[in-house]
Amino acid sequence: MSSKGAASINPAPSRPRKSELPADDVRRFRSRLRKFVEAKDAAGRKWAGAQWGVYAFYDYDGEPIYVGQTNERLSVRIGRHLTNQRTDVVAMRILDPFEVAEVQVWPLWDLEGVGRGHPGFAAARARLDACEHTAYAQAIEGSRFGAILNEKIPPRAEPVELPPSLRRPILDSEVRKERGHPDIRIARRAENISRLAAVARERGEVSEGLRRVLVIQAVRLAYLSAERLAHVEGLPMPDPAAIAVRQLVGSTLHEPTSRPGEDALFEEDGLFDEDGGFEDGSDAGDALYLDWDPRD
C-alpha cells in the first residue's frame, strides 16, 4: 500500500516568469533600456517620463536612423518601438530594433498635462512638430548619407531651439560586440530589406515614403558591405559621397507634393492611430515586455 501524502516523484514544473523567456541578449538589452528610461535629470525628473517630446535612434556607427515625436509619454513610445514591435515603422521593417544602439530624447516639460481637450493643445502640437522637424533636420545634417529612415518627413517648420536632451547607448559591450559584427549587420539588414520589399509587393499601393526608405536602406546595405570589403582587402574605407543619395531619392528635408489618399500603409487602414497606438485606445502590454511601468 502506498502511504498517504507522499511527495510526488515527478513534481509538476513551475511556469517561468515572462521576464525569463527572452534570450540572454534580449534580456540584457531590455535591462539597459530600462536604465535609460529611468535616468533622471538635475531636477529629479525621468528624462523619458515626459508626456510630450522628441526622440532619435542611432546605429552602431553613431549614424542617426530615425526621429520621432510623441504626446503619450516618451518611455511608452520608445518601448513600443524597441520591445513589443506594435508600431507600424517596426511592423513594416522600416526600423530594425536590433540596429538601434543609442537613444536620444528631448522632453518638453513645459507641455506637461496638456491633453486633447486643453485649450493649448493646438499650440502644443505646433511646438512639438517644430521640435521634431528641427531634430530631424539636425539628423539629416549629421548623417553621412544625408538621409534617415523616416517614412514620413516631418512637416516643414521654422527651426527652434531644442530643450536639453539625454543621449546614451542602450547596449552593453557584449551585446554590442555580438550584434554589431559587420557580417551579422549585413545579413540582418538584407533580410529586413527583403521583408520591406515584400510589403511593397504585396500591397502595391504603398506610400512614396516607404519606397524612399527602401532605397535608403539599400544604400545603407551597400555602404556597409563596401566597408566590410575594404576591411577584408586592407584598403581605405569607402567615401559615403560615392553614393549620391539625393540623386536617387530627391530631397530628404521635405515631402514632394502628395496626392489625396496616399497615406502611410497602416494609417490608411485605420489599424494604428496617429500616435502609433491601436485605434481602440488599448495599450495593455507596453510595460509587460520591459517588465517595468514607464508611467511611474
Partner residues linked to 168 by β-bridges? 103
CA distance 136 to 252: 10
Q: How far apart are the first and last CA of the chain?
A: 57
Q: Are 177 and 120 in contact (CB under 8 A)?
A: no
The three three-digit cell numbers of residue 127, written as one number: 511646438
104, HSE (Cβ side, Cα atoms, 13 Å): 21
Tell me, what's the pLDDT at 284?
A: 32
Answer whether residue 226 is part of any domain. yes
Q: What's the CA dihedral at 220, 221, 222, 227 to 10 degrees?
A: 90
Answer whether residue 256 is part of any domain. yes
Answer whether residue 224 is part of any domain. yes
Number of domains comprising the chain: 1
Answer whether residue 284 is part of any domain. no
| Single-letter amino acid, residue 213 | V
Burial 53-87 (b: 16+ CB within 10 A, else e): bbbbbbbbeebbbbbbbbbbbbbbbbbbbbbbebb
Name the 3-class secondary structure at 136.
Answer: helix
Tell me, what's the pLDDT at 73?
A: 96
State the residue range of the domain holding 117: 21-269
Per-residue pLDDT tens over the stretch 232-278: 999 999 999 999 999 999 999 988 864 444 444 333 333 333 343 33
Answer whether residue 117 is part of any domain. yes
Per-residue pLDDT tens over the stretch 5-53: 555 677 778 888 887 888 899 999 999 999 999 999 999 999 999 999 9
Write down the pTM of the prediction.
0.83
Answer whether residue 285 is part of any domain. no
Answer whether residue 260 is part of any domain. yes
Answer whether residue 291 is part of any domain. no
Q: What are phi and psi of 189, to 5 degrees?
A: -65, -40
- Tell how far CA 131 is from the center of its chain: 17
